[in-house]
Amino acid sequence: FPVTIFTRWWRWWFRNGGTVTSSGGNTIHTFTTSGTLEPTTTTLQGYYLVVAGGGGGGSTSARVGSGGGAGGLLYTGFALNPANSYTVIVGGGGSSQTNGNNSYFGSVTAIGGGSGVGSSAGVAGSNGGSGGGGIYDGSTAGGLGTSGQGNNGGAGGATAGTGGGGGAGAVGGTGSTTASGAGGVGLAYSISGSSTYYAGGGGGGSGTSGKQGSG
Q: Could you tell me the mean pLDDT of each successive run of 10 residues in the chain, 215 residues long?
A: 39 63 84 88 81 92 83 92 88 95 96 90 89 89 97 93 96 93 96 94 88 91
Task: Mark residue 50 as left, alpha or beta (left: phi above 0; alpha: psi -120 to 50; beta: remaining).
Answer: beta
Distances (CA, A) of 41 to 12, 24, 29, 131: 8, 21, 16, 40
Question: How far is 205 from 63, CA to CA, in rounded Å?
Answer: 9
Whole-model pTM?
Answer: 0.90
**What pLDDT, on the 0 to 100 scale, is given for residue 11?**
40
Which residues have a Cβ under 8 Å from the Cβ of 17 and sit 6 or more positions away? 7, 29, 31, 35, 36, 37, 38
Question: Of 169, 160, 158, which Cα lies nearest the Cα of 198?
Answer: 169
**What pLDDT, on the 0 to 100 scale, is given for residue 27?**
81
Helix, strand or coil for residue 109?
strand
Residues 107, 123: contact at Cβ < 8 Å?
no
Which residues have a Cβ under 8 Å from the Cβ of 183 and sit 6 or more positions away? 67, 70, 164, 165, 166, 167, 172, 173, 200, 201, 202, 203, 210, 211, 212, 213
**What pLDDT, on the 0 to 100 scale, is given for residue 203?**
95
**What pLDDT, on the 0 to 100 scale, is given for residue 2?**
35
**What pLDDT, on the 0 to 100 scale, is given for residue 10?**
39
Which residues have a Cβ under 8 Å from the Cβ of 62 and sit 6 or more positions away? none
Q: Which amino acid is at 134?
A: G
**What pLDDT, on the 0 to 100 scale, is given for residue 62?**
62
Report residue 102 CA to chain centroid gap: 10
Which residues have a Cβ under 8 Å from the Cβ of 117 and sit 6 or more positions away? 58, 65, 66, 97, 123, 124, 125, 126, 132, 133, 134, 135, 140, 156, 162
Question: How far is 153 from 188, CA to CA, in rounded Å?
Answer: 19
Residues in the chain: 215
Which residues have a Cβ under 8 Å from the Cβ of 159 and sit 6 or more positions away? 136, 137, 177
